[in-house]
Amino acid sequence: MAFKRALWHSGLTYQQQCPLCRTNVQYTDYHLDFRPWFPDGFVYCPTCKKPLRHNEAYALNPDGTANRPQTVNPAPQQPQTAPAEGAKAFCTNCGKQYVPGTDHFCGGCGKKLD
């Protein structure tokens, strides 16, 4: 029993990097192979023969640049607030009390503090 993709093809070119040998693999959806455990399809790395999962995020634009969706409204950065004067905190490693912002290492165990 052979598994086949739908008869339509996008005509896009895809590129991904093999995590095992770091080879850049470029392919079209005509090269995709399908198995139940790879529902979106996969290709084999030409160097190490590792199966690579296909994802539409690997699509390239016609000029060869990555086709990444752009975020419409990125989340605003939250301003960092300074600790209140005289605030106290406790080391997560040993429980010794310290003053945030002034102490950089725990006086009890030497762990680096936030």
pTM over 0.75, yes/no: no
pLDDT at 27 over 80: yes
Write down the pLDDT at residue 6.
53
**Residue 26 within a domain:** yes
Answer whether residue 51 is part of any domain: yes
**Domain co-membership, 22 together with 56:** yes
**Is the residue at 96 inside a domain?**
yes
Residue 74 lies inside a defined structural domain of this protein: no
The per-residue pLDDT for range 35-44, each reduced to its tens digit, is 777 778 889 9
Residue 79: inside a domain: no
Least confident range from 4-8, 16-20, 108-112: namely: 4-8
Assign 3-class secondary structure to the chain: CCCCCCCCCCCCEEEEECCCCCCEEEEEHHHCEEECCEEEEEEECCCCCCEEECCHHHEECCCCCECCCCCCCCCCCCCCCCCCCCCCEECCCCCCEECCCCCCECCCCCCECC
Specify whether 18 is located in the same domain as 53: yes
- Would 65 be classed as within a structural domain? no
What is the model's pLDDT at position 48? 93
Domain count, the chain: 2
Q: Residue 41 has what pLDDT? A: 84
**Does 46 map to a domain?**
yes
The boundaries of the domain holding residue 105 are 85-114
Residue 106 domain flag? yes
Query: What does the pLDDT read at residue 21?
Result: 92
